[in-house]
Amino acid sequence: MTGCTITGPANEPRDEGQTRVAFYGDSYTLGTGASDPSLRWSTIICEQRGWSEFNPSVNGLGFVNNRSIYADGGILSLVIADDPDIVFVTMGLNDNFSFPHAADEIEAQIAADFDRLATALSAARLIVVEPFWYTDDRPDSVEVIGGWVRDAANDIGADYISGASHWIEGHPEWMARDGLHPNDDGYAQIARRMDEELRKLGL
């Protein structure tokens, strides 16, 4: 999914006194549609907890969609190189647009990415979030891809947060003018729901 692009603040320098948190995500984690990067959900929850944020998320990115680099290089390599204490994976929304011709590739790449993260960052806590979705209409692929993400998270022993594809459902007032991304109120809602789920995980 593409749309207006948010220009985020420089990723915070590492502070050994803080928990370092990296985000592997798309425009919904980059914060596209927010009026300011400080209002994206990832930054809100990091500020609430005193975490140091590393967020190289990319507009339109999926496990397969709009992705040209799968091995060394690209966003996943950046996340691994940062050596965070916690990693959030919030991918999968954009793969719905490639699902009709790339279903097998998407399923395989989800497993490959998760295995790579678990191997390279064996000491990190991995938190996988059900892929976000942006309309009340839900193609069948939303449930299928979400199931693959959940199963892959279970396979590597990651924490899994369910229900995120419904968090802004039924609230057009939470969407930015592009009709694709949350606005400030939408990101505040995502942050509120994410905070509730993280508290259940003891974070």
The answer to whether position 6 is within a domain reads no
Query: Do the beta carbons of residue 9 and residue 38 sit within 8 Å?
Result: yes
The answer to whether position 2 is within a domain reads no
The answer to whether position 15 is within a domain reads no
Band of residue 136 on the pLDDT scale cut at 50, 70, 90: very high
Interatomic CA distance for residues 43 and 107, integer angstroms: 29
Mean pLDDT computed over 188-196: 98
The answer to whether position 192 is within a domain reads yes
- Percent of the chain that is helix, strand, coil (3-state, to 5): 45, 10, 45
Q: What is the pTM of this model?
A: 0.91
* pLDDT tens digits along 69-78: 676 778 999 9
The answer to whether position 113 is within a domain reads yes
* pLDDT tens digits along 105-131: 999 999 999 999 999 999 999 999 999
Q: Which residue has the tokens 């420089």?
A: 10
Handedness of CA 151, 125, 25, 117 (dihedral sign): negative
What's the structural domain count of the chain? 1
The boundaries of the domain holding residue 62 are: 20-200
Say which CATH number the domain at 119 has. Answer: 3.40.50.1110
Interatomic CA distance for residues 4 and 195, integer angstroms: 26
The answer to whether position 10 is within a domain reads no
Buried b (16+ CB within 10 A) or exposed e, 139-173: eebbebbbebbbebbeeeebbbbeebbebbeeeee
Question: Token pair of 5, please?
Answer: 């692009």
Tell me which of 15-29, 77-91, 104-118 is least confident.
Answer: 15-29
The answer to whether position 8 is within a domain reads no
More confident residue, 1 or 55: 55
